């Protein structure tokens, strides 16, 4: 499985006529990839009665990878390491299963040193329906060197196999016990997303929201020709809803503002920092243009990420500066989108 193949498979798999209607072609694994191979295929909730088409998805396969990455210290913005998460998991294991900290730790240095090649493991699970599919995708991914395989990939595969014995039951219990939380969270997101209908209309795309029980920090985003896609942490409490929504919007925005940067986005050359500033500024402009009353909550979310409790507009604009050419493109795009 190669991620770039997904664009070919999905190009014509969806159309709308009158009311919301989906067509899924059968063959060439289109159905499997269309659903991102999520474990709970029958739980693809579609928001009805609003103009934005939204799908919510949950995956034990993707969460298994983020569960492992939550034990690994990473020296860039993709870091998911969380001692709180690790402590909670170890309490649940209660000695019946081994902690994986000592197994993951030796892999961290190699992962950090070779992140530009290995970082794709954050996304390969999104097109896999089972651990075996994931292992196959990792084994056959074209971008890994022989040294990568020896030093990192093969140990990772063994870890995925062994840890799944614990994680499958842990994840299924979480999924079962969060039924009421899921419905409340999804309902809130549907309503909030509908406020930004003009964004989805402009790009002629639907919204796919992957909820993760083990994604401890930030989100993951990826696009295709028919939808914006993001995976974000699941919100267990209503107080987290607004921030998670802004994280979803952030991941969606990357899927069109990164193109304005005009460069290959990398962690090691500064272009990722530029792309982050572009996204943060665009969303600020968009929120302020459409719902000025939400500007403060957006700035509060940005402040929480930067450990700045009192992030006002002056401080925000002094920190998130970008060159005039890119900034002008962001402002022009906001005008085009909101003019509709």
| Tokens read off for 286 | 């968009």
Q: What is the pTM of this model?
A: 0.83
Residue with tokens 């920090």: 217
Q: What is the pLDDT of residues 263-293, one digit of tens each?
A: 677 766 778 889 999 999 999 999 999 999 9
Residue 330's nearest CA partner among 294, 265, 281 is: 281
Element (H, E) at 115: helix 115-118
Distance CA 129, CA 64 (A): 12
Distance CA 111, CA 190 (A): 37
Check: CB of residue 272 under 8 Å from CB of residue 265: yes
Distance CA 326, CA 257 (A): 9
Distance CA 295, CA 145 (A): 46
| Tokens read off for 99 | 């902690």
Per 3-state DSSP, the chain is made up of helix, strand and coil in percentages (nearest 5) of 60, 10, 30
Check: CB of residue 235 under 8 Å from CB of residue 186: no
Check: CB of residue 235 under 8 Å from CB of residue 241: yes
Check: CB of residue 34 under 8 Å from CB of residue 10: yes
| Tokens read off for 1 | 């499985």
Q: What is the pLDDT of residues 156-212, one digit of tens each?
A: 999 999 999 999 999 999 999 999 999 999 999 999 999 999 999 999 999 999 999
Check: CB of residue 284 under 8 Å from CB of residue 255: no
Residuewise pLDDT in 10s, the chain (340 residues) = 233 322 222 223 332 222 222 222 222 222 223 333 333 333 444 444 447 899 999 999 999 999 999 999 999 989 999 999 999 999 999 999 999 999 999 999 999 999 999 999 999 999 899 999 999 999 999 999 999 999 999 999 999 999 999 999 999 999 999 999 999 999 999 999 999 999 999 999 999 999 999 999 889 998 888 999 999 999 999 999 999 999 999 999 999 999 888 767 776 677 888 999 999 999 999 999 999 999 999 999 999 887 777 888 989 989 899 999 999 999 999 999 998 6
Check: CB of residue 281 under 8 Å from CB of residue 330: yes
324-338 and 241-261 helices, crossing angle to 10°: 120
């Amino acid at each position: 499985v190669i991620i770039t193949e997904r664009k070919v498979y999905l190009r014509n798999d969806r159309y709308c006529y009158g009311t919301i209607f989906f067509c899924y072609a059968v063959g060439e694994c289109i159905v499997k990839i269309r659903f991102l191979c999520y474990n709970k295929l029958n739980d693809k909730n579609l928001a009805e009665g609003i103009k934005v088409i939204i799908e919510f998805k949950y995956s034990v396969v993707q969460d298994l990878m983020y569960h492992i990455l939550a034990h690994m210290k990473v020296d860039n913005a993709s870091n998911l390491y969380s001692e709180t998460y690790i402590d909670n998991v170890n309490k649940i294991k209660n000695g019946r299963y081994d902690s994986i900290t000592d197994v993951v730790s030796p892999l961290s240095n190699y992962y950090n040193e070779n992140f530009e090649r290995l970082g794709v493991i954050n996304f390969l699970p999104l097109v896999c329906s089972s651990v075996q599919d994931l292992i196959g995708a990792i084994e056959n991914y074209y971008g890994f060197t022989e040294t990568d395989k020896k030093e990192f990939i093969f140990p990772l595969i063994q870890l995925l196999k062994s840890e799944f014995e614990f994680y499958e039951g842990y994840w299924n219990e979480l999924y079962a016990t969060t039924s009421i939380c899921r419905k409340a969270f999804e309902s809130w997101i549907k309503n909030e997303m509908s406020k930004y209908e003009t964004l989805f209309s402009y790009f002629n795309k639907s919204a796919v929201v992957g909820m993760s029980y083990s994604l401890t920090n930030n989100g993951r985003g990826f696009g295709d020709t028919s939808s914006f896609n993001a995976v974000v942490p699941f919100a267990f409490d209503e107080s987290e809803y607004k921030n998670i929504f802004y994280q979803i919007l952030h991941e969606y925005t990357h899927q069109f503002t990164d193109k304005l940067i005009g460069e290959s986005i990398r962690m090691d050359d500064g272009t990722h920092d530029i792309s982050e500033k572009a996204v943060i500024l665009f969303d600020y402009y968009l929120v302020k243009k459409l719902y000025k009353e939400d500007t403060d909550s957006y700035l509060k979310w940005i402040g929480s990420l930067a450990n700045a409790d009192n992030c006002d507009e002056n401080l925000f604009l002094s920190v998130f500066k970008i060159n005039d050419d890119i900034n002008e493109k962001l402002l022009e795009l906001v005008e085009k989108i909101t003019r509709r």
